[in-house]
Amino acid sequence: MRIGNIEIENPVVLAPMAGVTSHPFRAICKEHGDVGLVVTELISSMAIHYKNQKTYGMFDWTESEQPSFCQLFGADPETMAEAARVVVDRGATGVDINMGCWVPKVAKTGAGAALLKDLCQAEAVVKAVVDAVPSVPVTVKVRSGYTQGQLTAVKFARAAANIGAKAIAVHARYASQGFSGVADWDVIAQVKETVGNDIPVIGNGDIETPADALRMLRETGCDGVMIGRAAMGNPWLLGQIRDAIAGEPIRCEPTVEDRVAVARQHASLQVNVQGEGVACRELRGLLGHYFKGVPGATRLRGTLAKESTLDGINRTLDEYLAWYQSHDHDAQLQEALGN
């Protein structure tokens, strides 16, 4: 998949997720998931304009992650253009414009998915950013539309391609749905039919398995797939999807030992980037995802959520692994099933 002047090695993209896709998780997805492209969590163009130091701390992409796109949100074309120049000067490989975020604190400013209610303004934002950073590709992530039943993604995609956007990602839900309901992949197919081969279309929504990804590619004709919530605590899924698309044997599911090791790595990276206090608070909502469906997960998640130091997190993981390895969980499961 080619996005502007950048060749993406495989068409699997890590979706931008607020509070999730900071450097530690992006690095883990690169190392353990074999992902083709990663995108930062959304960053406020207005905060960049006012030189907010916390926001500048979110410019945490590294050479090892490349290609790495920075996602910006905002409703003012000039401010978005300014922010795009700043992040490109700081080494972002590309700029992604957020037109999909539905949370009130973003949408009420006219940014995110709210731009889909005013396509003239949306087009002005895209044009301003494209003109501001001609050396890198500009992409856009959209929802099907803002209000359920009022489809705007198709019309906007054609306009964005004409203005100079180099790819468009479509989360096939309306902003008013949030994450509820079922993604309507037919919207992705309509967008692809509209832009043809002019720019790549990346499909997003309800991909939880390699089979889901293959089905989306087949049913919509999209050029790539974007994985969001399903990758949380499961970076291995990204590599499995890549294998399926390439027609290669799909790598094995991670063992419990693998999950503990990567959770430990994630915690260490987060502390190195954010400092122990901030990182441990952030990790309370992240580490538990690594243990979905494993024996003893409920108790483990509860304990991890209370830890306030890296030593405490590592001690909890050590104790859990020792407990897990001292029990024959397969035998317990068979006994529970009456076999």
Cα(97)–Cα(111) distance, integer angstroms:
10
Judged by DSSP in three states, 99 sits in: strand
Q: Is 101 a catalytic residue?
A: yes
CA dist., res. 150 & res. 171, Å (int): 15
Q: Kindly list the distances between the CA atom of residue 41 and the CA atoms of 140, 182, 213, 226, 270, in Å, as whole numbers in the listed order.
A: 14, 24, 22, 14, 15
Q: Using an 8 Å Cβ cutoff, are 239 and 26 in contact?
A: no
Amino acid letter, 49: H
Which helix or strand (DSSP H or E) is residue 188 part of?
Answer: helix 185-195
Identify whether the C-beta of residue 95 lies closer than 8 Å to the C-beta of residue 88: yes
Long-range contacts (CB closer than 8 Å, 24 or more residues apart) made by 158-162: 158/194, 158/195, 159/119, 159/122, 159/123, 159/126, 160/123, 160/126, 161/195, 161/198, 161/199
Contact 118, 151 (CB under 8 A): no
- The single residue of 101, 222, 252, 280 carrying the catalytic annotation is 101
DSSP label of 337: T
Cβ neighbours for 286, distance < 8 A, ≥ 6 positions apart: 20, 25, 232, 233, 266, 270
Give yes or no for a contact between 154 and 195, defined as CB atoms under 8 angstroms apart: no
**Residues tagged active-site:** 101
